[in-house]
């Protein structure tokens, strides 16, 4: 690993600390290096808060009385191109120029239209040396949710389900049937805290009465999304407890009732996944986990509208029931979670909506 890559990896490690708290902004980390020593570092903590570059520079300012001289001789590493526009905070490119930092190393460009090369151009026009493309693919992968939203105008879609050892999704008699162990369930709750929303269909909501929260893991609970075409769900279900914002996609009404948003789709016979994802995009939802049921999961698979699939296989057998979804993708890793097996698949033929 080169010197540039070592410091960029530290940026990536820092950036990941913003998982679950910065969306719809990207996760970004930054370090200030003086003579091979990191003298300041920071990351984007919270949506609307200070950016990584600001936090890293401020750490230098607070730690050293001669901070101006140090910054004038330092290199700033940042995992994503510094912004060049006024949003909720001033442009980071202007801050870098103001403090006369002579060299900036960037992991990858920001695809957002208001940035997308403008930050790099502004720095170079001011005489700053800019190096780009260090650990570029790793930087893009970290912000795959942000890149998907900006470039495809839809959220990043994660499909998640559990299947029995003989390939069944659930019994066919509308009864609950636990397939995975406690370790897998805790991991799912951790995942929920990392994403913006979790989606289920009417049948799953009716049979399982899920809370779709993170009670088994730290973090904030995601928004809940439910497909209930004819509004047949009983409002005594956990999904209607108003604990978090819940979106109900249907064909009857559009209304807001407390923390419940009813969104009527134009056509419930065709393109339902497409309509839902576009509406979620309009709601600034950057990522969604689709947790079931089988029909809902299959609709996203058939539309080609998924990015990752996380499939648990338990050790139990069902012998008959509803078959698990059929899916093809690139193997992204296989893991042992308690007594369960977890397979990660990646969709390399992603479709734009």
Q: Which residues are catalytic?
A: 53
Task: Give residue 289's Cα distance to chain centre.
Answer: 9
The number of C-alpha atoms within 13 Å of 66 and in the hemisphere containing its C-beta is 6
Cα–Cα distance between 259 and 235 in angstroms, integer? Answer: 13
How far is Cα 34 from Cα 346, in angstroms, rounded to an integer? 39
Contact of 105 with 76, CB cutoff 8 Å:
yes
What the block records as the tokens of 315 is 């050790």
**Burial group, residue 89, by CB count within 10 angstroms (0-12, 13-18, 19+):** middle
CA–CA distance, 8 with 343 (Å, rounded to integer): 29
What per-residue string of b and e applies to 27-60 under the rule 16 or more CB within 10 Å gives b? bbbbbbbbeeebbbbbbbeeeeebbbbbbbbebb
Strand partners, 224: 198, 246
Nearest to 83, CA basis, from 133, 44, 46: 44
20: left (phi > 0), else alpha (psi -120 to 50), else beta? left
CA dist 83 and 97 (Å) reads 12
Q: By C-alpha distance, which of 132, 153, 179 is closest to 8?
A: 132
- For residues 83 and 95, give the distance between their C-alpha atoms in angstroms, rounded to a whole number: 10
Q: Which whole-number Å values give the CA distances from 241 to 119, 224, 248, 252, 253, in the listed order?
A: 44, 11, 13, 21, 19
């Amino acid at each position: 690993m080169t010197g540039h890559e070592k410091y960029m990896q530290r940026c990536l490690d820092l950036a990941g600390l913003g998982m679950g708290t910065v969306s719809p902004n990207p996760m970004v980390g930054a370090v200030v290096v003086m003579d091979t020593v990191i003298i300041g570092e920071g990351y984007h903590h919270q949506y609307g808060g200070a950016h990584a570059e600001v936090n890293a520079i401020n750490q230098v300012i607070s730690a050293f009385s001669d901070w101006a001289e140090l910054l004038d001789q330092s290199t700033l590493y940042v995992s994503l191109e510094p912004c060049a526009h006024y949003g909720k905070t001033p442009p980071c490119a202007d801050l870098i120029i103001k403090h006369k930092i002579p060299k900036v190393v960037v992991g990858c460009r920001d695809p957002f239209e208001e940035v997308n090369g403008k930050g790099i151009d502004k720095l170079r026009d001011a005489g700053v040396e800019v190096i780009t493309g260090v650990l570029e693919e790793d930087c893009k992968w970290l912000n795959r949710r942000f890149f998907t939203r900006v470039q495809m105008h839809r959220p990043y879609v994660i499909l998640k389900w559990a299947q029995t050892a003989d390939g069944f999704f659930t019994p066919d008699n509308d009864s609950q049937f636990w397939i995975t162990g406690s370790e897998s369930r805790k991991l799912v709750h951790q995942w929920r805290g990392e994403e913006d929303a979790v989606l289920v269909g009417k049948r799953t909501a009716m049979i399982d009465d899920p809370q779709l929260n993170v009670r088994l893991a730290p973090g904030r609970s995601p928004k809940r999304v439910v497909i209930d075409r004819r509004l047949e769900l009983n409002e005594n279900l956990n999904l209607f407890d108003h604990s978090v914002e819940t979106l109900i996609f249907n064909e009857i009404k559009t209304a807001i009732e407390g923390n419940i948003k009813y969104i009527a789709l134009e056509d419930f016979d065709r393109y339902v996944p497409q309509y839902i994802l576009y509406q979620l995009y309009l709601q600034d939802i950057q990522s969604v986990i689709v947790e079931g049921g089988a029909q809902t999961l299959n609709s996203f698979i058939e539309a080609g509208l998924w990015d990752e699939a996380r499939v648990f296989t338990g050790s139990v057998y069902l012998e008959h029931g509803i078959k698990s979804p059929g899916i093809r993708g690139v193997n992204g890793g296989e893991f042992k979670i308690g007594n369960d097996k977890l397979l990660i698949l990646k969709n390399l033929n992603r479709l734009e909506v």
